[in-house]
Structure 1
């Protein structure tokens, strides 16, 4: 019996069937039409449906397994990089060994692009791509779940109700992550905490690390279990955040009213904006593999945070934001023009969002001394 059938990515032998299901899913086809042909009149809808289905069948006809699907994704990734970034740089990939399974834990800025950039760097260096942890809150539309699981995503059940059900879900997740890395030698990516760091402050949730250990408590000590996972902290740094204003609006509303209620498909819009929005320079830094010496979850969390913050690549946008907040220092003209378009009620929040990675890094340096 497949104990992970409801959370795991799709297997190679399921790909063709899932692709056919997607082509015959009206919600999926209508989403493509609304994105690609937003201004076309309603009477053209039926011809567009037929045309989109025909084009999809033609493009997907030679895809028979997950590798084929991801190779097609790599082509889209190359196009996205050319149109939405000035450059993408990878650091520290040379620390990794082929044939090993790694658990990559990164800071979290963008729902889709964080694991996508990590995946692309591994792909370029001929490493196996990652299995991506994704919350079921993002999978309210079945076609999104299909697309994500085709692209090696596995599901984190955040919406389960009841303590017993939640513990069972976390136990299954822990077992799946450990099984993937230690037995299948597959790579895993997971964010350092649930949800994006909308304020630019990167801090690992200890509950994530405790979850890794749940399925191993009866078999291994905490240090040994964590050593087997080959944990690698990863720092992802965007010069510009395409979702900055939306994040700031949420933070401001929360601070003024005490709550914020997401629109039904707001996360899907964030994914789209993160993909098509301008990012400037993107730098992905792989840290050192965490091998031993961490006796408790808190000790391990401290080291993950140290590496993610310390390896975060600081851009001129981070320095300029701090200068603007302090009212002193140089400001990059491009960032000045960017901030001129920011609504005044969001201005301070956006500046803090960009300045906080630098503030964290400086604080870490002071504490080290």
Structure 2
């Protein structure tokens, strides 16, 4: 297929016709199979793992051969998420979704705390309520392994080309992305995107106006005023809250090293490791709160970003650990919560404590 026939071929998710071939590539990806075996049988001797590899391939082919369409994949992901949250959380609370039209497409802009779980939770909430799940924006920095690309594009992921070099290449990539998002909305397909590039490691959920400028590029081509065009996108701010952040200690350690040691050397597959930890780690209670559709006419990206932030800060679910970190009283605050927080701090150098505290305290300060 030519670029003219499919202008988004290199960034869009897989369609129904592409699902079976993608699944076959995954099953034949030995590195992917080894990763599954090593995770499921991590305490088994290596010789046994090598024997299990062919068996895992056979079982995957039997389990996945029924998955022929994107809808099949979404149903399977929904079942997985239900089971995952039962094992790794004390439940998910969803608010505000009942105010949204299931027949309308939206851009869901959420705060960004976890690479994989943030969009997964939004889509789980949508799926469970009978809404069409959203396409998921993910950076090309996560495409270092072929299996990661397959999994993300199977799960309605589309690529944000963060690695584009030079002004001309960057402009081309952002224009393509902006047009893809608008065309998706026109075809009644919702979008999820984080409010900023990279996770908020300090608990400061702030929208980057550059994201909104990217949205507007398609409108600018049509010579539509910023405020008028943005109202056509049906932007909905979403606040995602984790009572326990499985990656909180790693985040605090990274910020500590950057500021006190002068640099932080990220390992090649650290993002993948963060994804795994975020998925399997204990989250305690989880909240996904949908805000109101942006209908006001904002003249600048900065003004719109502030409005999105106000909604996210207002709708962010605060837990006892947040109040404890902010040194504020809370009726629910227990000794067990104090002990858990003290145990987290004990895993870090004393100079890094303030970063972990800020990660939980800042949502309290922002809510005011």
TM-score, length basis structure 1: 0.94
Q: Does 1:286 align with 2:254?
A: no
**1:340 Cα deviation (Å)?**
2.5
Match of 1:49 in 2: 53
Q: Does 1:350 align with 2:349?
A: no
**Runs (5+) with no aligned partner, structure 2:** none
Q: Does 1:188 align with 2:191?
A: yes
**Runs (5+) with no aligned partner, structure 1:** 363-369
Q: Distance in 1 between matches of 2:80 and 2:202?
A: 29
**1:302 Cα deviation (Å)?**
1.2
Structure 1 contact 339–347 (Cα < 8 Å) conserved: no
Match of 1:366 in 2: none
Structure 2 contact 179–218 (Cα < 8 Å) conserved: yes
What is the correspondence of 1:1-369 to structure 2 with a 5 Å cutoff? 1-181=5-185, 183-219=186-222, 220-323=224-327, 331-342=333-344, 343-345=347-349, 346-362=352-368
Deviations 1:31-77 (A, max 9, x none): 11111112322322432111110110111011100110111111111
**1:344 Cα deviation (Å)?**
4.5
Structure 1 contact 105–189 (Cα < 8 Å) conserved: yes
Q: Distance in 2 between matches of 1:264 and 1:276?
A: 21
Deviations 1:210-268 (A, max 9, x none): 00001220312112211111000000011110100000110100111222121111111
**1:329 Cα deviation (Å)?**
7.7
Structure 1 contact 200–356 (Cα < 8 Å) conserved: yes
Structure 1 contact 23–57 (Cα < 8 Å) conserved: yes
Deviations 1:137-157 (A, max 9, x none): 011001100000000000000
Structure 1 contact 177–212 (Cα < 8 Å) conserved: yes
Structure 1 contact 244–350 (Cα < 8 Å) conserved: yes
Match of 1:367 in 2: none
Structure 2 contact 253–348 (Cα < 8 Å) conserved: no
Structure 1 contact 320–332 (Cα < 8 Å) conserved: no
Q: Distance in 2 between matches of 1:354 and 1:334?
A: 16
Q: Distance in 2 between matches of 1:344 and 1:199?
A: 15
User: Per the alignment, in what secondary structure is the counterpart of residue 109 of structure 2?
Assistant: strand
Q: How many pairs align?
A: 358
User: Per the alignment, in what secondary structure is the counterpart of residue 220 of structure 2?
Assistant: coil
Q: Distance in 1 between matches of 2:255 and 2:99?
A: 37
